[in-house]
Amino acid sequence: MAGRRVDLDDVPTLTPAADAPRERRLSNVRRAAIAVWAVVIVFRTWTTGFAFDRELLLVYICTGLIAASIGRRRILQVLRDWLPFALILVVYDLSRGAATLIGTPTLWQVQPEIDRRLFFGTEPTVWLQEHFKLADPPWWEVVISTIYMSFFVLPYVVAGVLWLRNRDDWKAYARRFLALSFIALVCYAIVPAAPPWAAARCTPAEVAGGPSEPACMFRSPAAVPDGGLIGRMHTSQPGANSFVERISTRGWGKLHFEAARALVDEGQASVNLVAAIPSLHAALTAMIAAFLWRRVQSRWRPLLATYVVVMAVTLVYSAEHYLFDILLGWALALVVHAGMGRLETRRSRAVDERVGEDSRPVELEPL
């Protein structure tokens, strides 16, 4: 017998036949609540746009889970289980300025230098924007913007699906998500690092001493000599800007989602601007792929691998992260995933051993 821990909240309640009418009423209430929830989500999406704000998305998911839990699980369990996700978001938003408070200099020049060494003197963000950035957002920037924004949605959607389908898998996923996020937040506080788009706006003299939010960070890169710290573009496509710029949301303009683009741009400006090492975009993407790898059919695995690679290309092309940041994010994800797997295996074995000891027959001493 396997020593699996049983969560009493997941055990179906056996009700007598007399409770059948009550069960039917709860089922009808649940269906009505889900229908109302769906109507509200569709209405808000139609009138205010997609929920790109993670806090709002979390509210959407939790209210939907509460509606789906009527008559099945305790409603307070939803709040208890999802509170850690909300706390991580709050801590992340409050982490801006942590580097200044601690006094750690921000890294500005190390990352582009490492990327150049990895690519034999070529800076990959510069090269990609030289060859693929057009004057108007092409179709592939719609893909770029969609992939970039999926980071703010997919991890929580996966958590919601797991919460409904398999609580053990949900717990394992939540442990990895929270551990990965917490470690990344600690890294951002003690090793602040500027992203490529910021490096394109500043010169070495302007970031001497490693400031976390110098004035140059908030200006246009158009007039920065020699392309700033990231280096200048030697060529460009007809009509395209001949300097590296942040273009992770340009694709929304192609679809005329200007409200969504403005919301994302506003959110980007309000968070920790030097939270680049490691790339949490890359880390969470890799963690999700690794976690789901053995839980999905083999035909879906190439899609998981493709998602990880496309996210990396997206981050480099749009000047959100250096490749160095991404490699560190992947490494962190694999370490956390493997480490949690070992801890879970040890705990499972310990439970099996305790169950085995408890199930041994008791030998009675002769009188």
Going residue by residue through the chain, which has 367 residues, state the pLDDT in tens, using 9 for 90 and above: 444 454 545 555 555 555 677 778 878 888 898 899 889 888 877 777 666 566 777 788 788 888 887 776 667 777 788 888 778 777 766 665 666 677 789 999 999 999 999 999 999 999 999 999 999 999 999 999 999 988 988 998 898 899 888 889 999 999 999 899 889 988 998 999 999 999 999 999 999 999 988 999 999 999 899 999 999 999 999 999 999 999 998 887 777 666 566 656 555 555 678 989 999 999 999 999 999 999 999 999 999 999 999 999 999 999 999 999 999 999 999 999 999 999 999 988 877 777 766 666 655 555 4
Do residues 42 and 153 share a domain? no
For residues 243 and 274, membership in a common domain is answered with yes
N-to-C CA span, the chain: 33
Spatial CB neighbours of 114, under 8 Å, sequence gap ≥ 6: 322, 324
233 and 84, same structural domain? no
Q: Are residues 42 and 123 in the same domain?
A: no
Distance CA 163, CA 153 (A): 16
Residues 59 and 111 in one domain: no
- Within a domain: 67: yes
Of 67, 93, 119, which residue is a domain's last? 93
Helical pair 167-190 and 154-165, crossing angle rounded to 10 deg: 150
Residue 186 lies in a domain: yes
Assigned domain for 355 exists: no
pLDDT at 1: 42
Task: State phi, psi for 223 to the nearest 5 degrees.
Answer: -100, 10
**Composition of the chain by helix, strand, coil, percent to 5:** 70, 0, 30
Residue 361 lies in a domain: no
Final residue of a structural domain among 64, 93, 122 = 93
Task: Specify whether 62 is located in the same domain as 148.
Answer: no
| pTM check: above 0.85 | no
142 and 278, same domain (yes or no): yes
154 and 273 inside one domain: yes
Quick one: 57 and 193 in the same domain? Answer: no
| Domains: count for the chain | 2
201 with 72, same domain?
no
Domain contains 71: yes
Report how far residue 323's alpha carbon sits from residue 45's, in angstroms, rounded to the nearest whole number: 35
In a domain, 157, yes or no: yes
Q: Is residue 135 part of a domain?
A: yes
51 and 196 fall within a common domain: no
What is Dmax (Cα atoms) for the chain? 100
Q: Considering the domain boundaries, does residue 198 fall inside one? A: yes
DSSP state of 275: B
* Statement to judge: residues 103 and 141 lie in one domain: yes
The domain boundary residue, chosen from 75, 93, 111:
93
- Full domain range(s) for residue 52: 21-93
